[in-house]
Structure 1
Amino acid sequence: MNLGRPHAAIVDLDGTMVDTLGDFVVVLNIVLGELKLPAVDRAFVARTVGKGSEHLIRRTLEAVGAGASTYDDAWARYQQHYSRINGAHAIVFAGVVGGLEALRRRGLPLACVTNKPTGHAVDLLRGKSLDRYFAVVFGGDAFERKKPDPLPLLKCCEALGTEPRDTLMIGDSSNDAQAARAAGCPVVLVTYGYNHGEPIRDVDADGFIDRLDELQLA
């Protein structure tokens, strides 16, 4: 795995730094219960997260047999409950703090780019004491398009003042890898994330790590 000497790094949030499945399961099932719809399990959520809250809610409603007309109500309830529960059932993955510390010791400016809404991302990072590592945080509502579109990564590179080829993307899914490839960023994927239920090592990436603190740079 030869990643050269990156000048900055972009790090995904859900499934890369923080295991947030517990939050998603709890919030979705509160909403479904209020709408008198069947519950979903952790395995379903693990296959479905990663493409933004809108996608998660639509897929969940489809899975439980709810009509499209339910979406607006479900969306409003989801936002209300998620703001209250955000981080309560989530844990920082082992090796994340050490990995971020190592990147910071190298003098690399760090950014978090996630498909989670920016407000929720900022609150989660602060709640888990990870916010101090990041110069900027961009959520799924920051730009016109989300990952796997390259736009968030390109805009993030502009904010960091680095070229994409010199900006390492660290994520957990094909969303992150596809966005990085299209933007021209090198990309490393963690093996413990979600990746829509698909084998992570089948994804086109420059390397794979089992813990963030195992990342080796030139």
Structure 2
Amino acid sequence: MHGTGCAARARHATIPDDARVVVFDCDGVLIDSWDSIISIYNCILADLGFAPLKQEIQRTCFIGSWRDGFALAMDGANVERAMERLRSFDYSRVSGLIHVMPGIDDLLARLAASGRKLAVNTNGASEQRQILARVDLLKHFDIVVTADDVTHPKPNPSGALSILAAFEAEPDDALFIGDSSNDQKAADNAGIPFWAYNNPRLCADEHITDFALVEVPPLV
């Protein structure tokens, strides 16, 4: 059970001094990609003759894997065709809709300078690496685990556990920062302490709303 309950608090937060691995979700945490993700869904759905995403399923599609999102939008039909279109999608079409979250570049630089290992655990496809490179964030990360790299994406903990294994770390050696219930459940299922970003509805050890207010102590 997380220590601070479910209420968001606008205050400084300090990275645990024994957290040597920090895992980030991508969409909604590292980058503001809502408009781009919804646009990609709608472009591919239109190409295949389907209607745009219904508003009531947009959030579920955004936080889930692409495969699960297309299955939901198409009621299970034509998912493989949609995934083929996704693999060949020209991300430059939506690059103007992707924005780096305020303060994250500086926080990542401070974390790396402290000697911590940095990782991404995302339900996005393997192209997420290209997106992070395009916005100049990929350089900060030691490993990026996408939905294409695991059999079961978040909330399954396999991605987070593979990150721990890569660094020969225990769950208590790490910290997971995310903004969705899938992130919270993945962290919980892996036994990793969890911080919630910009989502007061989640139960977390810390709630943060401003990366500039996150302090990075020396690693012990």
Q: TM-score, normalised by structure 2?
A: 0.83
The question of whether the paired residues in 2 share the 8 Å contact of 1:20 and 1:91 is answered with yes
- Number of aligned residues: 204
The question of whether the paired residues in 1 share the 8 Å contact of 2:157 and 2:186 is answered with yes
Q: How high is the sequence identity, in percent, across the aligned residues?
A: 23
Q: Structure 2: which 5+ residue stretches go unaligned?
A: 1-12
**Corresponding residue for residue 4 of structure 1:** 16
The whole-number CA distance in structure 1 between the counterparts of 2:116 and 2:55 is 35
Say if 2:70 is the partner of 1:50: no
- Greater relative contact order (Cα 8 A, min sep 6): structure 1 or 2? 2
**Corresponding residue for residue 3 of structure 2:** none
The question of whether the paired residues in 2 share the 8 Å contact of 1:12 and 1:172 is answered with yes
Instruction: State the 1:80 CA deviation.
Output: 2.2
**Corresponding residue for residue 189 of structure 2:** 182
Higher helix share: 1
Which of these residues, 165, 175, 190, is aligned with residue 172 of structure 2? 165
Which of these residues, 135, 139, 157, is aligned with residue 132 of structure 1? 139
The whole-number CA distance in structure 2 between the counterparts of 1:86 and 1:156 is 29
**Corresponding residue for residue 204 of structure 1:** 203
1:131-150 aligned within 5 A: 131-150=138-157
The worse-fitting range, judged by mean Cα deviation, of 89-98 and 28-37 is 28-37
Instruction: State the 1:16 CA deviation.
Output: 0.7
The worse-fitting range, judged by mean Cα deviation, of 90-99 and 73-82 is 73-82
Q: Structure 1: which 5+ residue stretches go unaligned?
A: 63-67, 192-199
The question of whether the paired residues in 2 share the 8 Å contact of 1:153 and 1:179 is answered with yes
User: Structure 1 counterpart of 2:64, which letter?
Assistant: K
1:1-218 aligned within 5 A: 4-5=16-17, 6-40=19-53, 44-62=57-75, 68-81=76-89, 83=91, 85=93, 87-118=95-126, 120-191=127-198, 200-216=199-215
C-alpha change, 1:212 and 1:42, in structure 2 (3 Å) is farther
RMSD: 2.2
Q: TM-score, normalised by structure 1?
A: 0.83
User: Structure 2 counterpart of 1:162, which letter?
Assistant: A
